[in-house]
Amino acid sequence: MYNDAYKNIAKYYDFFTNRLLTELRKQVVYICNKYSFQQILDLGCGTGNLAFQLVEDKIKTIGVDASLAMLKEAQKKILKNKTGLNFQESLNNKPIFLGSDITKLPFKDNSFDLAIISLVLHETEADIAKTIAEALRVSDYILLADYHLPERNLEVPFFYFVHFIERIAGKTHYFNFKRFMKKGGLQGLIQRICIKHNLIICEDISICYGVLGVVVLKKKA
């Protein structure tokens, strides 16, 4: 049976992470507009904040997550959404949220302009290869947002905050996070997957004093 690691923390997720992730989400929306991406898949969408920001910019977004607790928080926001829209507007102004494992997505090949994986891979070390392969199956472009700096940069004050958050997320979560950072964090991962999947880097943006990174990768033609 699926063990929902976010069962007890879903309610507090936004409180602990929103400030850290504001700039990151702004950058993602900016990139989607810059490349005119119109149909987005947000893998591991969590409480849906990025998806809501994208639909606000009229970018159609489906969020997928395995945690029912996180999806429940996302769904609550739909219920609180704007009023005064007509039927078509209300269909267009909401993200769709689906419960699914991101390593086995229920979509056909090339269904999306962009597949986003934001702050998921550092906690799913063992599934990174499968998740990336699935993202590249459904889209030619992928956007990865995750921790940027390797372990030795602990002198950056923000980094202590990140360690605190990752630690309270649980023992397994923290173990995976430390392993991800030891392998070079997001930058290490990018180097490995660019070679393996023949990808080129279209965007590489550093956020929060270099603690977070947003990278857009594209399959080589």
Question: Could you tell me the smallest distance in angstroms from the CB atom of residue 197 to ligand SAM?
Answer: 19
Q: According to the binding rule CB under 6 A, does residue 6 interact with ligand SAM?
A: yes
Q: According to the binding rule CB under 6 A, does residue 44 interact with ligand SAM?
A: yes
Instruction: Report residue 199 CA to chain centroid gap.
Output: 19
Which residue of 62, 102, 115, 212 would you call a contact of ligand SAM, by CB under 6 A?
Answer: 102
Which residue of 9, 54, 105, 119 would you call a contact of ligand SAM, by CB under 6 A?
Answer: 119
The torsion angle over the Cα atoms of residues 140, 145, 148 and 154, rounded to 10 degrees, is: -160
Residue 27 or 124: the one with the smaller Cβ distance to ligand SAM is: 124
Residue 169-188 contact track with ligand SAM, rule CB under 6 A, x = bound: --------------------
Residue 117 or 190: the one with the smaller Cβ distance to ligand SAM is: 117
At 52, which helix (H) or strand (E)? Answer: helix 49-56
Residues 6+ apart with CB under 8 A from 28: 50, 53, 54, 116, 118, 143, 145, 214
Q: According to the binding rule CB under 6 A, does residue 23 interact with ligand SAM?
A: no
Residue 23 identity:
E
Which residue of 54, 70, 115, 142 would you call a contact of ligand SAM, by CB under 6 A?
Answer: 70
Question: Could you tell me the smallest distance in angstroms from the CB atom of residue 88 to ligand SAM?
Answer: 28
The torsion angle over the Cα atoms of residues 131, 137, 141 and 142, rounded to 10 degrees, is: -10
Q: According to the binding rule CB under 6 A, does residue 204 interact with ligand SAM?
A: no
**Looking up tokens 């229920």, which residue turns up?**
106
Q: According to the binding rule CB under 6 A, does residue 67 interact with ligand SAM?
A: yes
Closest CA to 17 of 189, 142, 184, 169: 169
Q: According to the binding rule CB under 6 A, does residue 66 interact with ligand SAM?
A: yes
At 61, which helix (H) or strand (E)? Answer: strand 60-65
Q: According to the binding rule CB under 6 A, does residue 45 interact with ligand SAM?
A: yes
The torsion angle over the Cα atoms of residues 141, 137, 181 and 13, rounded to 10 degrees, is: 80
Burial 122-158 (b: 16+ CB within 10 A, else e): bbbbebbeebbebbbebbebbbbbbbbbbeeeeeeee
Which residue of 27, 61, 124, 176 would you call a contact of ligand SAM, by CB under 6 A?
Answer: 124
Binding segment for ligand SAM (CB under 6 A), chosen from 78-86, 98-106, 192-200, 204-212, is 98-106
- Residue ranges in contact with ligand SAM by CB under 6 A: 6, 17, 21, 44-46, 50, 65-67, 70, 101-103, 118-120, 124, 127
